[in-house]
Structure formats: C-alpha cells, structure tokens
C-alpha cells in the first residue's frame, strides 16, 4: 500500500488503519483469531493499528500486544486512547485530567507490552477539565518519551480550534490528529471538523466508515434487521422505528443499488468514499473476523468516479448526518437542562 503522511508528524501510515474495537468480549473473544486478523492486515501492507483502553476493558490492548510480539512492534504505528472509565466507579479514573491521563498511559503501556505509544488520543472532550490541563499532561508524556504524538477523537471544530490556540499560547505540544466519525450516512464533519483539520495540518483517521454495519449490505428493505453486538450495546442506533434509522435504511438501499451498478460491493463503495476525501488520512476498519477483513481491505484499490460521487451526494447530501446520535458526541449543553435554563425567580 502507498503510505500517507499522518498530518505533520512525519510518520507515514497505510491508507487503511486496522481498528481493534472488536477484539475481545465486545466482539471476538477468540484471541488467536484476532491475532491472525492483525497478522493478515500487516501482511497486506497495513502498518497502522488503533485501539483504546476501554475496548473490552483493556482486553483489546492485550490482544494487540500478543499480535505484535516477536519483533512486529517496530514496524507498526500504534495508536490508543484514554478518557472513558475502564473499570470500577471511581470518578477520578476517567476524563481528561492530568491525574487520569498519566495513570491511563502507564496502564496502556503495560497492557500493550511496549515502551512507547506512537499516537495517544483523547477519546472524547471533557467539559469539566481545562484543555490546558490536558495538553500539559500530554506534553509531559511526549517529553518523557512515553508517547510520540497525541491527538483528539470526536471533538467539535470549536474545541479543536481552542486546543490549537491554547497550545500556542501556553507553549504546549498540540493535537496533531483528529479521529471523527465519518461515513456516507454520517457526513456532519464535512462542514467544519474536516476543513478545520486541514487548516491546522492535522492527520485524520475516521471511525466507522461502514456506519456501524449499516453499509455492509446486511441492512436492506424488506429483510429482518440483523442481530449484532453493536445493537446490544447501542440499541437506539438500530431501532428501525426511529425516523433517523428509517432514513438510514432507505439510503442504504439506494447505495446498494448504486454499488451494484458501479460494479463493486457496497463495502468497497463506502470505504472508498471516505478514502477520497482530501482531508482524510485513513479510515479505520473494524473487522471482527477474517472474512470481514478480506471483504474490506480491497477498498484501498477502488477509485470512485465523479458520477458515482455525485450520485452519493444526491442520496445523502454533503454535511448531512441522517441520525444525529451516530456522531458520537452530544454537547452537555444539549443534555443537561441546568446548562441552558436560568433558575426560576422566586
């Protein structure tokens, strides 16, 4: 695979990233099968692996460590994330504080069986923590040699900009990557997030290019909604009675016909669409089985014509997300009434 620069880091990565979300109890609990998937991806030219401490409560990181044992670690750009509660209910063991980031990084290094992490990412924004606190902790980890670079994940454009300006004013290292949700069905980031990343020279690794399975060809009109582990974790995203999900089903049906007319699988159409955005460095694949990996990895050789891209735009217009919950982050101002209502006057 022809490699791409990861933003301004100088690191070169494959145009497809292997995501380890589905390794472990959240997806495939067979460690040997997951290790085989990693090895197959590496043999196909993938050199970029993304995981997170929260994936199967650290099990994903341990599986990745097994797969990279025996001399494979040095040839891989390894990324992981922190922010979410991995275990227990201690409120200090989550979020973007210096205290937790420092501990979480040590925990990930141990589980991954490595001395350094190439890209350490903050999994979500934390409204309770000043971004300077977060950047300061991450900067110290870079200077200590424990991480090579760091990035954000699922940050709104305004917070990406705030972090860049804070880094400059406070002489911190800065976020050099962003990991947003992006697919044909989830195009909200096209309006501000992706242009903002381009302006700041940030690498972009997008999650869920298959829209959580909606663009695999399994979701078709007139068929039973397939069972999946994701549906058991976030059932609202697959509840076909909801208007947003009905819109996704209609779009998936039209896209399946378009892919057939273009002579490719819907999976290849969906991944190639993400690959062709000029701001995107690499989409993250999330196979749980070898069959899924094999069905996805060939998308790197697919180029969509202008006609096909125009027809995609007609089905789901640029900047449109059919179900807002698929964007992965809802600002607390929209969920906490106390942040948008003044106390009643007595």
pLDDT at 230 (0 to 100): 75
pLDDT at 8 (0 to 100): 97
Which pTM value belongs to this model? 0.95
- Is 342 inside a domain boundary? no
- Is 193 inside a domain boundary? yes
Q: Which residues of the chain have pLDDT under 70?
A: 346
pLDDT at 226 (0 to 100): 76
Range of the domain at 164: 13-332
- Is 201 inside a domain boundary? yes
- CATH number at 69 reads 3.20.20.100
pLDDT at 221 (0 to 100): 83
Question: How far is residue 121's CA from residue 100's CA, in Å, rounded to a whole number?
Answer: 13
Coil vs helix vs strand at 151: strand
- Is 146 inside a domain boundary? yes
- Is 266 inside a domain boundary? yes
pLDDT at 236 (0 to 100): 84
Q: For the range 304-310, what are the long-range contacts, defined as Cβ-Cβ under 8 Å and sequence gap of 24 or more?
A: 304/262, 304/269, 304/272, 304/273, 304/276, 305/262, 308/258, 308/262, 308/269, 309/273, 309/276
- Is 337 inside a domain boundary? no
The structural domain count of the chain equals 1
- Residues 195-206 have pLDDT tens digits of 999 999 999 999
Annotated catalytic residues are 55
- Is 1 inside a domain boundary? no
- Is 107 inside a domain boundary? yes
């Amino acid at each position: 695979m022809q490699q791409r620069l990861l933003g301004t880091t100088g690191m070169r990565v494959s145009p497809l990233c292997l995501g380890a979300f589905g390794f472990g109890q959240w997806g495939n609990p067979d460690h040997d099968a997951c290790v085989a998937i990693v090895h197959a991806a590496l043999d196909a030219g993938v050199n970029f692996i993304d995981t997170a401490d929260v994936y199967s409560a650290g099990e994903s990181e341990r599986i990745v460590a097994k797969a990279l044992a025996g001399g494979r670690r040095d040839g891989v750009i390894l990324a992981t994330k922190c922010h979410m509660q991995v275990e227990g209910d201690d409120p200090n063991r989550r979020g973007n504080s210096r205290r937790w980031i420092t501990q979480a990084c040590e925990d990930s290094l141990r589980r991954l069986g490595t001395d350094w992490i190439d890209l350490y990412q903050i999994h979500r924004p934390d409204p309770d923590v000043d971004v300077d606190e977060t950047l300061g902790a991450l900067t110290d980890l870079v200077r200590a040699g424990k991480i090579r670079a760091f990035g954000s994940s699922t940050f709104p454009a305004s917070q990406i900009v705030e972090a860049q300006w804070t880094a400059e004013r406070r002489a911190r290292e800065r976020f050099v990557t962003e990991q947003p949700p992006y697919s044909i069905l989830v195009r909200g980031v096209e309006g501000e997030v992706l242009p903002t990343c381009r302006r700041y020279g940030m690498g972009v690794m997008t999650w869920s290019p298959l829209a959580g399975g909606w663009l695999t060809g399994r979701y078709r009109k007139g068929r039973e909604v397939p069972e999946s582990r994701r549906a058991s974790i976030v059932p609202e995203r697959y509840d076909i009675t909801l208007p947003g999900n009905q819109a996704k089903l209609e779009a998936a049906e039209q896209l399946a016909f378009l892919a057939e007319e273009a002579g490719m699988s819907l999976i290849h159409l969906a991944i190639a669409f993400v690959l062709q955005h000029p701001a995107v460095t690499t989409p993250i694949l999330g196979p749980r089985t070898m069959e899924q990996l094999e069905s996805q990895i060939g998308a790197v050789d697919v180029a969509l014509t202008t006609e096909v891209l125009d027809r995609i735009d007609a089905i789901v217009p640029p900047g449109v997300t059919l179900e807002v919950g698929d964007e992965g982050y809802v600002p607390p101002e929209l969920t906490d009434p106390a942040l948008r209502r003044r106390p009643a006057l007595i």
